[in-house]
Amino acid sequence: AQKVTQAQTEISVVEKEDVTLDCVYETRDTTYYLFWYKQPPSGELVFLIRRNSFDEQNEISGRYSWNFQKSTSSFNFTITASQVVDSAVYFCALSEAWIQGAQKLVFGQGTRLTINP
């Protein structure tokens, strides 16, 4: 069975600090997809990134970066020079390989990140 674990329930840092959100996953599939979503206080879910299992390149997008390591089944998310607007709940998610169009997501419990001014 698939499982996503976000061990950090809550993180609180001061603005401009770097912060890393951990995500560990379990799957028996050899092809799978990993995602990060952001849920700000307003409640909507915002897509941040998708990573395919066969692509282990790390990715950087502005202050955001993602470190994918298949050897440790981890897909960690780092925010550099954090800002108050980064305060949100962040979810890591996993989906199986594409089979007849079905790609349901399995979510972690989420990490509530608070950036203090």
**Least distance to another protein from the beta carbon of 39, Å?**
9
Contact 60, 48 (CB under 8 A): no
Site for another protein in 59-88 (CB under 8 A): none
Neighbours of 28 (CB within 10 A): 8
CB of 34 within 8 A of CB of 48? no
Question: Which CB sits closer to another protein, 76 or 95?
Answer: 95
What residues numbered 86-105 form the site for another protein, per CB under 8 A? 91, 93, 98, 100-105
- Alpha carbon distance 6, 69 (integer Å): 15
| 55 scored as a contact of another protein (CB under 8 A) | no
Of 35 and 76, which CB lies nearer to another protein in the complex structure? 35
Cα-based distances in Å from 67 to 8, 24, 41, 79 = 17, 11, 26, 11
Using the structure block, give the residue that is written with the tokens 């960690």.
76
| Closest to another protein by CB, 45 or 81 | 45
77, 63 contact by CB (below 8 A): no
User: Which residues, 16 to 35, sit near another protein by CB under 8 A?
Assistant: 33, 35
Does 12 bind another protein (CB under 8 A)? Our answer is: no
Chain residues that interact with another protein, rule: CB under 8 A: 33, 35, 37, 42-47, 50, 52, 91, 93, 98, 100-110
